[in-house]
Protein backbone atom coordinates (compact mmCIF):
# COMPACT_ATOMS: atom_id res chain seq x y z
CA UNK A 1 0.00 0.00 0.00
CA UNK A 2 1.14 3.49 -0.84
CA UNK A 3 2.53 5.20 2.28
CA UNK A 4 0.78 8.44 1.26
CA UNK A 5 -2.62 6.72 1.41
CA UNK A 6 -1.83 5.29 4.85
CA UNK A 7 -0.50 8.59 6.22
CA UNK A 8 -3.34 10.68 4.80
CA UNK A 9 -6.01 8.43 6.32
CA UNK A 10 -4.17 8.27 9.63
CA UNK A 11 -3.88 12.04 9.93
CA UNK A 12 -7.46 12.66 8.80
CA UNK A 13 -9.12 10.35 11.32
CA UNK A 14 -7.28 11.87 14.31
CA UNK A 15 -9.96 14.57 14.50
CA UNK A 16 -12.94 12.28 13.79
CA UNK A 17 -15.01 9.92 15.99
CA UNK A 18 -13.15 6.91 14.60
CA UNK A 19 -11.64 4.23 16.85
CA UNK A 20 -9.92 2.20 14.10
CA UNK A 21 -9.67 2.28 10.32
CA UNK A 22 -8.58 -0.40 7.88
CA UNK A 23 -7.99 -0.27 4.14
CA UNK A 24 -9.21 -3.34 2.27
CA UNK A 25 -9.75 -4.38 -1.33
CA UNK A 26 -7.43 -3.75 -4.26
CA UNK A 27 -5.47 -0.95 -2.54
CA UNK A 28 -4.71 -3.19 0.45
CA UNK A 29 -3.66 -6.01 -1.86
CA UNK A 30 -1.44 -3.71 -3.94
CA UNK A 31 -3.56 -4.44 -7.02
CA UNK A 32 -5.16 -1.04 -7.52
CA UNK A 33 -5.45 0.61 -10.90
CA UNK A 34 -5.53 4.37 -11.54
CA UNK A 35 -9.36 4.26 -11.47
CA UNK A 36 -9.63 2.10 -8.30
CA UNK A 37 -11.44 3.42 -5.27
CA UNK A 38 -10.06 3.23 -1.73
CA UNK A 39 -12.14 0.91 0.44
CA UNK A 40 -12.01 1.96 4.10
CA UNK A 41 -13.63 0.09 6.99
CA UNK A 42 -14.03 2.06 10.24
CA UNK A 43 -15.10 1.32 13.79
CA UNK A 44 -16.55 4.25 15.69
CA UNK A 45 -15.66 5.49 19.14
CA UNK A 46 -18.30 4.47 21.72
CA UNK A 47 -21.55 6.46 21.48
CA UNK A 48 -20.47 8.21 18.27
CA UNK A 49 -23.20 9.38 15.93
CA UNK A 50 -22.24 9.79 12.29
CA UNK A 51 -25.28 11.36 10.66
CA UNK A 52 -24.43 13.67 7.78
CA UNK A 53 -20.78 13.86 8.84
CA UNK A 54 -20.40 10.42 7.21
CA UNK A 55 -20.88 12.00 3.77
CA UNK A 56 -18.57 14.86 4.68
CA UNK A 57 -15.84 12.36 5.56
CA UNK A 58 -16.23 10.65 2.20
CA UNK A 59 -15.94 13.97 0.35
CA UNK A 60 -12.94 15.06 2.44
CA UNK A 61 -11.12 11.76 1.90
CA UNK A 62 -11.81 11.82 -1.83
CA UNK A 63 -10.35 15.33 -2.02
CA UNK A 64 -7.29 14.31 0.01
CA UNK A 65 -6.66 11.01 -1.79
CA UNK A 66 -7.64 12.21 -5.29
CA UNK A 67 -9.74 9.11 -5.95
CA UNK A 68 -13.16 7.70 -5.03
CA UNK A 69 -13.59 6.40 -1.47
CA UNK A 70 -15.92 3.69 -0.22
CA UNK A 71 -16.28 4.29 3.54
CA UNK A 72 -17.99 1.47 5.45
CA UNK A 73 -18.82 1.39 9.16
CA UNK A 74 -17.90 -1.91 10.83
CA UNK A 75 -21.02 -4.06 10.97
CA UNK A 76 -22.53 -2.46 7.86
CA UNK A 77 -20.44 -4.37 5.33
CA UNK A 78 -22.59 -6.47 3.04
CA UNK A 79 -22.51 -10.14 4.13
CA UNK A 80 -20.97 -11.40 0.89
CA UNK A 81 -18.03 -8.99 1.29
CA UNK A 82 -17.14 -9.63 4.95
CA UNK A 83 -14.81 -12.59 4.42
CA UNK A 84 -12.90 -10.91 1.60
CA UNK A 85 -12.57 -7.62 3.51
CA UNK A 86 -11.36 -9.37 6.65
CA UNK A 87 -8.75 -11.27 4.65
CA UNK A 88 -7.40 -8.13 2.94
CA UNK A 89 -7.75 -5.44 5.57
CA UNK A 90 -4.75 -3.51 6.82
CA UNK A 91 -4.97 -1.36 9.94
CA UNK A 92 -4.08 2.23 9.02
CA UNK A 93 -5.40 4.13 12.04
CA UNK A 94 -6.00 3.41 15.72
CA UNK A 95 -7.04 6.09 18.18
CA UNK A 96 -4.55 6.54 20.99
CA UNK A 97 -5.94 5.45 24.34
CA UNK A 98 -6.09 8.07 27.08
CA UNK A 99 -4.09 7.31 30.17
20-73, pLDDT tens digit by residue? 999 999 999 999 999 999 999 999 998 888 888 999 999 999 999 999 999 999
What's the whole-number mean pLDDT along residues 86-97? 93
| pLDDT at res. 51 | 84
Instruction: Write the CA distances from 51 to 2, 7, 23, 84, integer angstroms.
Output: 30, 25, 22, 27
Q: With a cut of 80, say whether residue 98 has pLDDT above it.
A: no
Map out the domains of the chain with their CATH numbers.
3-94 (3.30.460.10)
How would you write the chain as a 3-class SS string? CCHHHHHHHHHHHCCCCEEEEEEECHHHHCCCCCCCCEEEEEEECCCCCCCCHHHHHHHHHHHHHCCCEEEEECCCCCHHHHHHHHHHCEEEEECCCCC
Amino acid sequence: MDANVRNTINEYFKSKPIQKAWVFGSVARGEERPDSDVDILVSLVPDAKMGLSYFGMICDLEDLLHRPVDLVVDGDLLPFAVESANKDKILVYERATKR
